[in-house]
């Protein structure tokens, strides 16, 4: 378990902590870093593209299950905002690992929908 997490929600049955996530998309595999807080926040600390960050929330949906939704902000190499991704995932957690699936909607900087993508993932909690 993440040593920086304290409190009754920081157990192997909650997502609280920092996770390394492998995203499995039709066009390839990507890595990101997520953090789930005890108060239900989800933070994208490092996205699949350099400079991408995001925030949202998570909710327990059953024993060993939770869902999260977040907005990932996308920037070009010069730091210009180029769009965002609306990410929703439904998770099955077993201790310090989880698998998930869901849909992401990709928008440009003018909020026009560019793509809808089915996304699966697997993740491991960092210790």
According to DSSP, the residues that pair with 116 across neighbouring strands are 105
Q: Is the pLDDT of residue 8 over 60?
A: no
Looking at the domain assignment, is residue 3 inside a domain? no
Q: Is the pTM above the cut of 0.75? A: yes
Q: What is the pLDDT, as a whole number, of residue 26?
A: 82
How many separate domains does the chain show?
A: 1
Q: Which of 72, 93, 64 is nearest to 30 (CA)?
A: 72
Torsion angles phi and psi, residue 21, rounded to 5: -115, 135
Q: How many other β-carbons are positioned within 10 Å of the β-carbon of residue 42?
A: 22
Residue 84, both tokens = 């965002």
Torsion angles phi and psi, residue 75, rounded to 5: -125, 150
CATH number at residue 92: 2.40.128
Looking at the domain assignment, is residue 51 inside a domain? yes
- Chain mean pLDDT for the chain: 90
Looking at the domain assignment, is residue 6 inside a domain? no
d(CA 83, CA 75): 7
Q: Is the pLDDT of residue 1 over 50?
A: no
Q: What is the pLDDT, as a whole number, of residue 5?
A: 41
- Which residue range is the domain that position 40 belongs to? 17-125
28-43 pLDDT, tens digit per residue, is 899 999 999 999 999 9
């Amino acid at each position: 378990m993440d040593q920086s997490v304290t409190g009754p929600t920081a157990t192997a049955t909650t997502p609280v902590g920092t996770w390394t996530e492998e995203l499995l998309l039709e066009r390839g595999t990507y890595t990101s870093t997520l953090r789930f807080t005890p108060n239900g926040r989800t933070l994208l600390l490092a996205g699949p593209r350099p400079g991408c960050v995001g925030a949202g929330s998570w909710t327990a949906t059953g024993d060993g299950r939770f869902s999260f939704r977040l907005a990932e902000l996308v920037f070009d190499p010069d730091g210009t905002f180029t769009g965002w991704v609306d990410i929703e995932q439904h998770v099955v957690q077993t201790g310090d690992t989880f698998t998930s699936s869901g849909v992401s909607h990709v928008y440009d900087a003018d909020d026009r929908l560019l793509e809808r993508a089915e996304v699966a993932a697997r993740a491991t909690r960092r210790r």
